[in-house]
């Protein structure tokens, strides 16, 4: 429904908004902290170098998102491949379609389980709403698509950025209370969502001297907006003490990210756990050897080897 207009968009968003308010998501803070601590122990157990992507960030975000939605982490192999391929602009269409079909069949199974035996999760709260099976399935797909690789990516590239800017990392270690501000600056500095919701021009118009014709599809580069020098002074610099109000890492308007409160909780838990557990945290390879994830709608790293 992210590409819908009101009133259809309003109907779907209203069903979900209550689950993602600050008050509602705040109950997940202790769980996020516990999951982050568990994944830290996974990293310790493997020893350095450990991969932040697969040993920490992906499990943290997927476990939290799965518990909220109602998808057991133990069953992740039945849907994660589809989510990954949906973000991959170079994915083989046949492979993506097959993975998507398998994920949809799995979601149908989970939805049927919740109809028979509800639990304290989002799917259970939606099964009795006036929604078709297809609508329920699509909502689950959207939440995973929007909330998994995005937050995982933000945690990984945010860590990469801090390790690359030791002065900012030192400030944060000296004053941990600045973490929330640092997270907002990291979201602005490296915006993982490469573009916002597509719009269609309803009439011809000129914007900054460019003609946009009726029917043209238009989108916004969120990273470019967050590096706008008219809004942020010295935008190419990382400054965890800057005023980041007005950044659009989560989009803007009625289509802004529904799960941004959850994302912030996961990021806060992740960064806190990493900085507390590893005072000597550092890259285990030269920065230019870190493989970047460039072929999809979410910018990130393929892996991030760390030592401590």
DSSP H or E stretch at residue 161: helix 149-164
For residues 88-98, average pLDDT: 88
- Which residues face 199 on adjacent strands? 218
Does pTM surpass 0.85?
yes
Virtual torsion, Cα 21, 22, 24, 27, nearest 10 deg? 160
For residue 248, pLDDT over 80 is answered with yes
- Dihedral sign (CA 273, 168, 292, 286): negative
Predicted confidence band of residue 238 (pLDDT cuts 50, 70, 90):
very high
Nearest-angstrom CA–CA distance, 14 and 114: 21
Instruction: Identify the CA nearest to 303 among candidates 55, 43, 53.
Output: 53
CA separation, residue 13 to residues 98, 103, 156, 296 (Å): 29, 23, 29, 25
Map out the domains of the chain as residue ranges.
8-190+259-307
For residues 236-240, average pLDDT: 98
For residue 2, pLDDT over 70 is answered with no
Say if residues 107 and 137 touch (Cβ distance below 8 Å). Answer: yes
For residue 3, pLDDT over 70 is answered with no
CA separation, residue 216 to residues 183, 194, 198 (Å): 35, 19, 10
Burial class, 277, CB count within 10 angstroms (exposed 0-12 / middle 13-18 / buried 19+)? middle
For residue 5, pLDDT over 80 is answered with no
For residue 196, pLDDT over 80 is answered with no
Domain boundaries 8-190+259-307, corresponding CATH code: 1.10.630.10
> What's the pLDDT at 265?
98
Q: Which tens digit of pLDDT belongs to each residue from 125-147?
A: 999 888 999 999 999 998 998 89
Predicted confidence band of residue 295 (pLDDT cuts 50, 70, 90):
confident
**CB count in 10 Å sphere of residue 292:** 11
Predicted confidence band of residue 266 (pLDDT cuts 50, 70, 90):
very high
Instruction: Identify the CA nearest to 257 among candidates 123, 124, 151.
Output: 151
Say if residues 55 and 43 touch (Cβ distance below 8 Å). Answer: yes
Residues 6+ apart with CB under 8 A from 32: 60, 64, 265, 266, 268, 269
């Amino acid at each position: 429904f992210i590409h819908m207009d009101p009133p259809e968009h309003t109907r779907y968003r209203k069903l979900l908004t209550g689950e993602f308010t600050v008050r509602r998501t705040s109950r997940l803070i202790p769980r996020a902290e516990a999951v982050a601590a568990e994944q830290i122990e996974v990293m310790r157990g493997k020893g350095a170098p450990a991969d932040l992507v697969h040993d920490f960030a992906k499990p943290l975000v997927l476990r939290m998102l799965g518990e909220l939605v109602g998808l057991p982490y133990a069953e992740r192999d039945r849907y994660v491949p589809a989510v990954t391929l949906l973000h991959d602009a170079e994915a083989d269409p046949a492979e993506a379609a097959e993975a998507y079909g398998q994920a949809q069949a799995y979601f149908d199974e989970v939805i049927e389980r919740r109809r028979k035996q509800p639990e304290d999760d989002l799917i259970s709260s939606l099964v009795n709403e006036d929604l078709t099976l297809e609508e329920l399935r699509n909502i689950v797909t959207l939440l995973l698509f929007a909330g998994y690789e995005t937050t995982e990516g933000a945690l990984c590239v945010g860590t990469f950025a801090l390790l690359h800017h030791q002065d900012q990392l030192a400030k944060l270690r000296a004053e941990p209370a600045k973490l929330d501000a640092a997270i907002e600056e990291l979201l602005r500095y490296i915006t993982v969502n490469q573009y916002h919701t597509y719009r269609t021009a309803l009439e011809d118009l000129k914007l900054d001297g460019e003609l946009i014709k009726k029917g043209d599809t238009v989108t916004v580069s969120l990273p470019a907006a967050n590096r706008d020098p008219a809004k942020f002074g010295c935008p190419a610099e990382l400054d965890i003490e800057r005023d980041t109000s007005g950044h659009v890492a989560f989009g803007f308007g009625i289509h802004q990210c529904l799960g941004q409160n959850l994302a912030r909780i996961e990021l806060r838990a992740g960064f806190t756990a990493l900085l507390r557990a590893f005072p000597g945290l550092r890259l285990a390879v030269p920065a230019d050897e870190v493989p970047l994830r460039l072929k999809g709608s979410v910018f990130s790293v393929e892996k991030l080897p760390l030592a401590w």
